[in-house]
Structure 1
Amino acid sequence: MDKPILKDSMRLFEPLGRIKSRSMFGGFGIFADETMFALVVHNKLHIRADSTLRKQFKQLGFEPYIYHKRGFPVVTKYFALSEEWYNDSEKALEIARAAHARAQVEKSSQAETKPTRIKDLPNLRLATERMLKKAGIEDVQQLHQTGSLEAFKAIRNSHTSEVSLELLWSLEGAIQGTHWSVVPLARREELLARLQH
């Protein structure tokens, strides 16, 4: 990972709010005030696109970042800026500002339409919903009240086969409303320590 691109991008985006980065998608996500709008991966700056920006980015010839998950290609919403755009800080900041604003709108509309079914939470599927129901956790509210660790233990106790630790991270991410890969390492270590006691 070429850190200067990450550092330079973070410095460039300071006018957008409190900037921080987090390891994700094999690179580093860039957040302004807790909303991710950019990604630095493979030595390139990628900007998040909604349906409007996606059309604009494709017209400009920007390519979406594709990463592989369990051997399958996943096309992301993040498009690599061309060198011309990256080297023009005004243009890069302008497009990042638009991407950040749209990402915030999307985030707030998702918060308003909170899922009621477990399978609709981030990271979880119908199979997870069934496992949780078998363990006595019927809905999203009950999952939130139970917490990821106790829900994981309940599944482990009611499940006949071995349950992967990834499920614990998935449950924690689901409760926090994020992808399991962004659950902070410190929080994972805390959950693991509590699980082993």
Structure 2
Amino acid sequence: MDKPVLKDSLRLLSSLGKITSRSMFGGFGIFIDDTMFALVVQDKLHLRASDETINLFKEQGFEPYVYKKRGFPVVTKYFAISPECWDEPDSILIQAVVALDVAKKDKEKQKSAGPSRIKDLPNLRLATERMLKKAGITTVEELKNTGSVNAYKAIQQTHSSSVSDELLWSLEGAIKGMHWSVISAETRNELRKQL
């Protein structure tokens, strides 16, 4: 049961900001201002590592948390601190500050990088991603380079059933980063003319 370790961890780390926890990875994620930087699982506190701190954590004997997903092991960037560290809470706090900084930077990188898969773009789902893949468009970059009209035409050529104009608006919105319903009537007419 992770509850005592979770309580001790929350108490110790609360000086870093507004702290919360929620169930995840079979344990509890610890967040400061909605940024997860620590994990309590298997009665151990795990701190987020970066490419720079992984070796330091390994040198200190910290082990990464590994869980199974669909039967395969997944190694996380969360490393269990050794029980001896609890004898020096200040050292945990120092490492937690670094872990929080790493997590915040990673979160910012993810925000600025944008979606990595087509289905993650606005308006698009897995079904649309599959349609585009069948039409030869497999990445977000390819979709943007192809443009909504040409992507729509490619889908029309590879699918026996007719596709609606809404798909064209959805593709345009996905490329522009907006919901298809806010695409102006003028833009819709321009797109339709290009078909």
TM range (shorter): 0.5 to 0.7
1:157-196 aligned within 5 A? none
Structure 1 unaligned runs (5+)? 147-197
Which structure's CA Rg is the greater one? 2
Matches of 2:31 and 2:72, distance apart in 1: 26
SS at match of 1:76: strand
Matches of 2:108 and 2:83, distance apart in 1: 32
Structure 2 unaligned runs (5+)? 133-151, 156-162, 181-195
1:2 aligns to what? 2
Deviation at 1:145, TM superposition (A): 2.9
2:107 aligns to what? 107
Could you report, residue by residue, the CA deviation over 1:135-189 in whole angstroms, capped at 9, with x for unpaired residues? 835364689737xxxxxxxxxxxxxxxxxxxxxxxxxxxxxxxxxxxxxxxxxxx
- Say how many residue pairs are matched: 145
Deviation at 1:86, TM superposition (A): 2.9
1:20 aligns with 2:20: yes
Q: TM-score, length-normalised on structure 1?
A: 0.64
Q: What percentage of residue pairs aligned between the two structures are identical?
A: 56
1:35-184 aligned within 5 A? 35-115=35-115, 117-119=117-119, 129-130=129-130, 136=167, 137-138=170-171, 140=174, 145=179
Q: Answer yes or no: is the 8 Å Cα contact 2:19–2:31 preserved in 1.
A: yes
Say what the alpha-carbon RMSD is for the aligned residues.
3.0
Aligned letter for 1:29?
Answer: G
SS at match of 1:13: helix
Matches of 1:30 and 1:144, distance apart in 2: 32
Q: Answer yes or no: is the 8 Å Cα contact 1:39–1:47 preserved in 2.
A: yes
Q: TM-score, length-normalised on structure 2?
A: 0.64
Matches of 1:101 and 1:4, distance apart in 2: 25
Matches of 2:116 and 2:107, distance apart in 1: 17
